[in-house]
């Protein structure tokens, strides 16, 4: 076997497909009996196909779709004309559309000044996002080695920055470390608009809108297409199905319900895996789709790690803060301020102001979940009615902030407090949402609540971190997963990482798997440049 990929999440499948396409004998091992990791579609309720985790493919890289010809393997998208619908406490609502002019009209209801400035804001974001987007599919440079290949690749990124012009390049560098609140305050005065735009910069991170570096996350989301609501026909699981079909078409083997107990090491080199049933499989290269802590402390084992490596891995900050509530509905909820159904075909967001978002964040700092949380939602059945029985709907709610460690009655932080707080969290979310959709509770047929503890126990996400580690400036680019080994290779020879804990980070982008495959192919060919 040339390569074993551990984990059939979307990044692992991207890596496997590209390795197989390059002619290498590749095996994928997945402990669950479904593909996709946290980007799976499962029939949680009879007749309802639920995106149990991720529910939008707007960030998935078009380059990967084309290179693996995923359309030929059944991948099809539904796109919404609406990007974001944000109902407000006073009963009004702001809708941002993919059509810039249509969005400006909407914004004008809240601020004519903001409506006039919005096209310029988008133009700047688009220019900066284009420069950043090219970097996301590059391998971070090794600053200690000074390799020619690094200079060539990152020289391309530097050239993209230079093309922006000196003034724009300096502005790009200025805003990266800014809190998203400061950046948006420079542009706009409307609370509704700033709240709608700030939310994606915060999702998945224990950071509020006044946290340093959150503007970078706004640019990261924009570079990957956050203004595009793109659903997959048949549910998110069809992305993994298409990736698996592509990989198998190139000759890869995929085994589900096959748990890896640990990685085999010989002379400090990874040589294969031992399965849960005790059997061994050897390979030239091992690639882990798990987050770094699970890969090293779980699969490699701390006794096989040097103290320096143990310290580096232990210091990675995870801090999962998101919960997921999936609802089976008897009908379509009526949101205040909605005048046409198409407004809610994109993302629906309860984020009425920067102040609201900061108050939601405040609770998490002290080990409590937000009493009035940030809610980021989709109604997937509006774009794909076949996901539910006729006339029925699904509401998929991402809730933030829900910290992995909850404060107990005696003031101590505990990891396991969620078993007692699960239903209360669901009630808080529904109470909050009912302020904006008063008929919602009467439509609920069933609900599923996934806490950060569930992300960890069911999907293998350390501390429930959906990004495989916090996406803050100190854990991005050459610092991801840690300083000194950001090039998908690890300090253990022949062991690579391909998950969201590597550059460029989280979200259903496929970029970490794409980049990792390029480096693994070099290693398999004996090219370590």
Phi, psi of 440 (to 5 degrees): -60, -50
Alpha-helix residue ranges (DSSP H) falling in 86-190: 100-108, 112-136, 148-163, 166-175, 180-187
Q: How far apart are CA 344 and CA 332, in angstroms?
A: 10
Q: How far apart are CA 267 and CA 269, in angstroms?
A: 5
SS3 445: strand
User: Residue 456: its pLDDT value, please?
Assistant: 95
Which of 466, 498, 458, 486 lies closest to 12, judged by CA? 498
Q: How far apart are CA 135 and CA 138, in angstroms?
A: 5
Q: How far apart are CA 401 and CA 423, in angstroms?
A: 16
Domains along the chain with CATH numbers: 3-39+62-76+234-317+468-524 (3.50.50.60), 101-223 (no CATH), 318-459 (3.30.519)
CB of 68 closer than 8 Å to CB of 61: no
Could you tell me the two tokens for 73?
A: 């393997």
User: Residue 222: its pLDDT value, please?
Assistant: 82
The strand pairing partners of 329, in sequence order, are: 393, 444
CA-based angle 324:488:271, to the nearest 5? 105
Cis peptide before 481 (omega within 30 of 0): yes
Residue 513, Cβ density class (10 Å: 0-12 exposed, 13-18 middle, ≥19 buried): buried
User: Residue 491: its pLDDT value, please?
Assistant: 92
Residue 268 CB neighbours (<10 A): 11
Alpha-helix residue ranges (DSSP H) falling in 437-478: 440-443, 452-459
List Cα–Cα distances, 164 to 100, 137, 169, in angstroms: 22, 19, 6
CB of 310 closer than 8 Å to CB of 482: no
Q: How far apart are CA 43 and CA 51, in angstroms?
A: 9
Q: How far apart are CA 395 and CA 328, in angstroms?
A: 7
Q: How far apart are CA 442 and CA 428, in angstroms?
A: 16
1 secondary structure, DSSP code: -
Digit-by-digit pLDDT tens for the chain (529 residues) are 999 999 999 999 999 999 999 999 999 999 999 999 999 999 999 999 999 889 888 889 999 999 999 999 999 999 999 999 999 999 999 999 999 999 999 999 999 999 999 999 999 988 888 888 878 888 887 766 655 555 565 666 666 667 777 788 888 889 989 999 999 999 999 999 999 999 999 999 999 999 999 999 998 888 766 677 889 999 999 999 999 999 999 999 999 999 999 999 999 899 999 999 999 999 999 999 999 999 999 999 998 998 988 999 999 999 999 999 999 999 999 999 999 999 999 999 999 999 999 999 999 998 999 999 999 999 999 999 999 999 999 999 999 999 999 987 666 666 557 988 999 999 999 999 999 999 999 999 999 999 999 999 999 999 999 999 999 988 988 889 998 787 899 999 999 999 999 999 999 999 999 999 999 999 999 864 4
CB of 378 closer than 8 Å to CB of 117: no
Q: How far apart are CA 422 and CA 1, in angstroms?
A: 44
User: Residue 157: its pLDDT value, please?
Assistant: 64
User: Residue 135: its pLDDT value, please?
Assistant: 83
- Which residues lie closer than 8 Å to 293 by C-beta, 6 or more apart? 313, 314, 316, 318, 462
Residue 235 CB neighbours (<10 A): 26
The sign one gets for the Cα dihedral 454, 460, 464, 467 is: negative
């Amino acid at each position: 076997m040339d390569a074993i990929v551990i984990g059939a999440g979307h990044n692992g499948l991207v890596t496997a497909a590209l390795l197989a396409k390059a002619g290498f004998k590749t095996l994928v091992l997945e402990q669950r009996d479904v593909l996709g990791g946290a980007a799976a579609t499962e029939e949680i309720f009879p007749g309802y196909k639920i995106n149990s985790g991720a529910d939008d493919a707007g960030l998935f890289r078009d380059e990967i779709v084309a290179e693996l010809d995923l359309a030929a393997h059944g991948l099809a998208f539904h796109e919404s004309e609406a990007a974001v619908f944000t109902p407000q406490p006073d009963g009004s609502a702001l809708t941002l559309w993919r059509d810039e002019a249509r969005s400006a009209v909407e914004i004008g209801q809240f601020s004519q000044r903001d409506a006039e400035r919005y096209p310029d804001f988008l133009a700047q974001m688009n220019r900066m996002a284009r420069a950043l987007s090219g970097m996301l599919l590059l391998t971070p440079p090794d600053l200690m080695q000074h390799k020619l290949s690094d200079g060539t690749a990152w020289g391309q990124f530097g050239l993209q920055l230079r093309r922006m012009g000196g003034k724009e390049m300096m502005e790009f560098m200025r805003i990266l470390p800014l809190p998203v609140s400061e950046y948006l305050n420079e542009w706009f005065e409307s609370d509704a608009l700033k709240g709608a735009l700030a939310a994606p910069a915060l999702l998945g991170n224990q950071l509020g809108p006044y946290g340093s570096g959150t503007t970078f996350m706004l640019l990261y989301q924009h570079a990957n297409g956050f203004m595009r609501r793109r659903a997959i026909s048949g549910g998110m699981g069809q992305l993994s199905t298409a990736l698996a079909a592509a990989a198998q078409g190139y000759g890869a083997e995929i085994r589900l319900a096959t748990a890896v107990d640990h990685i085999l090491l010989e002379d400090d080199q990874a040589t294969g895996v031992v399965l849960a049933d005790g059997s061994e499989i050897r390979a030239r290269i091992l690639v882990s789709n798990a987050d770094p802590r699970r890969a090293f402390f779980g699969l490699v084992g701390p006794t096989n790690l040097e103290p320096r490596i143990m310290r580096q891995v232990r210091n990675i900050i995870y801090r999962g803060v998101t919960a997921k509530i999936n609802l089976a509905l008897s009908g379509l909820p009526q949101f205040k301020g909605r005048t046409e159904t198409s407004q809610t075909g994109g993302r629906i967001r309860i984020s009425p102001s920067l102040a609201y978002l900061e108050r939601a964040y405040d609770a998490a700092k002290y080990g409590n979940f937000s009493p009035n949380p940030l809610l980021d939602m989709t109604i997937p059945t509006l774009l794909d009615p076949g996901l539910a029985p006729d006339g029925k709907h699904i509401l998929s709610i991402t809730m933030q902030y829900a910290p992995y460690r909850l404060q107990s009655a005696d003031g101590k932080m505990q990891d396991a407090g969620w078993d007692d707080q699960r239903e209360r969290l669901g009630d808080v979310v529904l109470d909050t949402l009912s302020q904006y959709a008063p008929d919602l509770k009467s439509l609920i047929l069933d609900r599923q609540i996934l806490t950060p503890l569930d992300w960890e126990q069911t999907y293998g996400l350390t501390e429930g971190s959906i990004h495989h580690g916090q996406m803050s400036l100190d854990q991005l680019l050459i610092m991801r997963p840690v300083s000194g080994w950001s090039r998908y290779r690890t300090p253990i020879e022949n062991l690579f990482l391909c998950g969201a804990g590597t550059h460029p980070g989280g979200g259903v982008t496929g970029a970490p798997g794409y980049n990792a495959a390029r480096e693994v192919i070099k290693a398999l060919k004996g090219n370590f440049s």
